[in-house]
């Protein structure tokens, strides 16, 4: 009998962790998900996976706990998706962000070395590495210029992943993923904040959304498309890093246009208030990626366009609120 492939995913209850688990189960993997302890279980994104995957307790700030997760799962593939992932919060908690998002990757790499078995490691790198983009669209060779404590922490994680690949001949890949969203996105991120806010306004539950900078632009894709790119990177014979993006950038205003159109509102001015609390000390004005290397070498392309992404998120929030 063929043994199933085993995958260990940190950040299992996050947006990407849950979508990746869905994909790997479909591919007949045995999936182990790392969650940190909390007084109230946070399995909103993974309640449908209970009984189908094994949850393990571990924390990126505790290397021994990661080692035990490796021992208890004996994985062929490790996906390090856990992070303090909210850019805005990283100015409030820069040390904690650096510890989890930066040093957390090092702890997992050291735990893998200690564990001693050969396996494949995926690090969740980000377009925030490009920050003040020096080349548009950005590709794998574009120099980095992070603009937040989060971006700087991810830069460390990115380079330590590469350094361990070169130092110890490990199979380490970094996926430099541009923004990707889904119905499972956390409520503080701008896309979900808007889809949820628009849904509430359309149902008469709220009369406005408070936002910060409306002029920044992002290259937004759909998370289920992007977790497939993670898996493809791990199926290569040789480890390498890839940009995953759509190649198109839209502003927050354009996101608002489409989201409000979904509920029949063509002029949203009266429903949106700008609030300085949501402005950032340093902004990333635009992010746009060139995914041609991933297309050529992985055969990967985005499948979901911007309008479909936005309208799916708004519809999902309307249904959720009605329920
Ligand atoms: P997310 O929804 O915020 O999920 C992050 C997960 O990390 C959460 O489940 C969180 O657990 C967990 N976590 C936080 N601190 C931890 C710790 N100390 N130990 C163990 N787990 C911890 O993020 P996402 O959007 O799915 O993103 C996945 C990864 O990709 C992140 O590393 C993010 O930085 C990166 N990334 C995301 C995007 C994007 O657009 N989504 C783009 C590029 C890169 P709790 O539930 O307990 O808080
Ligand atoms: O939705 P955001 O918070 O995402 P951001 O900062 O682009 O970060 C996300 O994508 C990164 C990849 O590029 C990931 F690495 C990271 O983990 C995360 O998933 O903000 C997007 C834009 C920013 O320019 C922000 O200033 O929206 C602007 N914005 C305007 N009003 C707001 C708001 N962002 C948030 N979160 N909340 C607002 O009220």
Q: What is the pLDDT of residues 154-189, one digit of tens each?
A: 999 999 999 999 999 999 999 999 999 999 999 999
Q: What is the pLDDT of residues 234-266, one digit of tens each?
A: 999 999 999 999 999 999 999 999 999 999 999
**Nearest-angstrom CA–CA distance, 7 and 15:** 17
Q: What is the pLDDT of residues 290-302, one digit of tens each?
A: 999 999 999 999 9
Q: Please tell me which residue in 35, 77, 128, 181 is annotated as part of the active site.
A: 128
Q: Which atom of ligand 2 is nearest to the CA of 287?
A: 13
Q: Write out the E strands in the chain.
A: 6-10, 30-35, 54-57, 77-80, 120-126, 171-177, 180-181, 209-211, 217-218, 221-222, 242-244, 250-251, 272-274
**Nearest-angstrom CA–CA distance, 79 and 95:** 23
Residue 57, token pair as written in the block: 């307790």
Look at residue 235 in the predicted model and tell me its pLDDT: 98
- pTM score of the predicted model: 0.98
Check if 186 has its Cβ closer than 6 Å to any atom of ligand 2: no
Look at residue 71 in the predicted model and tell me its pLDDT: 98
Among the listed residues 189, 183, 195, the one whose alpha carbon sits nearest the alpha carbon of residue 212: 189
Look at residue 53 in the predicted model and tell me its pLDDT: 98
Q: Which helix (H) or strand (E) holds 184?
A: none
Ligand 2 site-directed mutation target among 89, 136, 142, 190, most atoms within 8 Å of CB: 190
Check if 157 has its Cβ closer than 6 Å to any atom of ligand 2: no
**Nearest-angstrom CA–CA distance, 80 and 165:** 15
**Nearest-angstrom CA–CA distance, 260 and 267:** 8
Average pLDDT estimate for 26-52: 96
Q: What is the pLDDT of residues 187-198, one digit of tens each?
A: 999 999 999 999
C-alpha 278, offset from chain centre: 21
Residue carrying structure tokens 């309307």: 318
Among the listed residues 219, 237, 246, 239, the one whose alpha carbon sits nearest the alpha carbon of residue 300: 246
CA geometry: angle at 78 spanning 76 and 82, to 5°? 165
Q: Which atom of ligand 2 is nearest to the CA of 211?
A: 39
Counting residues of the chain whose pLDDT is more than 90, the rounded percentage is: 98
Number of H helices, E strands in the chain: 10, 13
Instruction: Answer whether residue 1 shows pLDDT above 70.
Output: no
**Nearest-angstrom CA–CA distance, 248 and 179:** 11
Instruction: Answer whether residue 6 shows pLDDT above 90.
Output: yes
DSSP β-bridge partners for residue 7: 31, 77
Average pLDDT estimate for 61-90: 98
The answer to whether residue 150 is catalytic is: yes
Using an 8 Å Cβ cutoff, are 105 and 118 in contact? Answer: no
In the chain the first and final C-alpha atoms are separated, in Å, by 44
Check if 212 has its Cβ closer than 6 Å to any atom of ligand 2: yes
Using an 8 Å Cβ cutoff, are 184 and 225 in contact? Answer: no
Give the Å distance between the CA of 188 and the centre of ligand 2: 9
Check if 195 has its Cβ closer than 6 Å to any atom of ligand 2: no
């Amino acid at each position: 009998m063929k043994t199933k492939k085993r995958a260990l995913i940190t950040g299992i209850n996050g947006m990407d962790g849950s979508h990746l688990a869905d994909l790997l189960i479909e591919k007949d993997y045995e999936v182990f998900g790392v969650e940190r302890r909390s007084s109230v279980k946070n399995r909103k994104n993974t309640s449908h996976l209970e009984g189908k995957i094994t949850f393990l307790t571990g924390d990126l700030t505790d290397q021994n706990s990661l080692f035990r997760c490796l021992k208890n799962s004996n994985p062929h593939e490790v996906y390090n998706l856990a992070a303090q992932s909210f850019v805005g919060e990283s100015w409030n908690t820069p040390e904690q962000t650096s510890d989890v998002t930066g040093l957390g990757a090092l702890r997992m790499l050291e735990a893998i070395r200690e564990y001693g078995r050969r396996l494949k490691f995926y690090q969740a790198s980000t377009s925030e590495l490009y920050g003040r983009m020096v080349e548009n669209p950005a590709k794998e060779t574009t120099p980095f210029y992070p603009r937040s404590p989060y971006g700087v922490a991810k830069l460390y994680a990115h380079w330590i992943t590469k350094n361990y690949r070169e130092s110890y001949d490990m199979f380490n890949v970094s996926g430099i993923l541009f923004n990707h969203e889904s119905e499972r996105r956390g409520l503080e991120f701008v896309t979900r904040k808007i889809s949820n806010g628009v849904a509430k306004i359309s149902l008469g539950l709220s009369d406005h959304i408070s936002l910060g900078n409306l002029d920044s632009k992002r290259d937004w894709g759909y998370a289920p498309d992007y977790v497939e790119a993670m898996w493809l990177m791990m199926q290569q014979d040789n480890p390498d890093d890839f940009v995953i993006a759509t190649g198109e950038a839209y502003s927050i205003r354009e996101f608002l246009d489409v989201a409000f159109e979904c509920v029949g509102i063509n002029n949203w001015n009266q429903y949106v208030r700008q609030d300085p609390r949501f402005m950032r000390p340093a902004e990333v004005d635009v992010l746009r990626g060139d995914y041609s290397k991933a297309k050529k070498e992985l055969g990967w392309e985005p499948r979901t366009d911007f309008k479909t992404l936005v309208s799916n998120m708004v519809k999902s929030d309307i249904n959720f609120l009605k329920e």
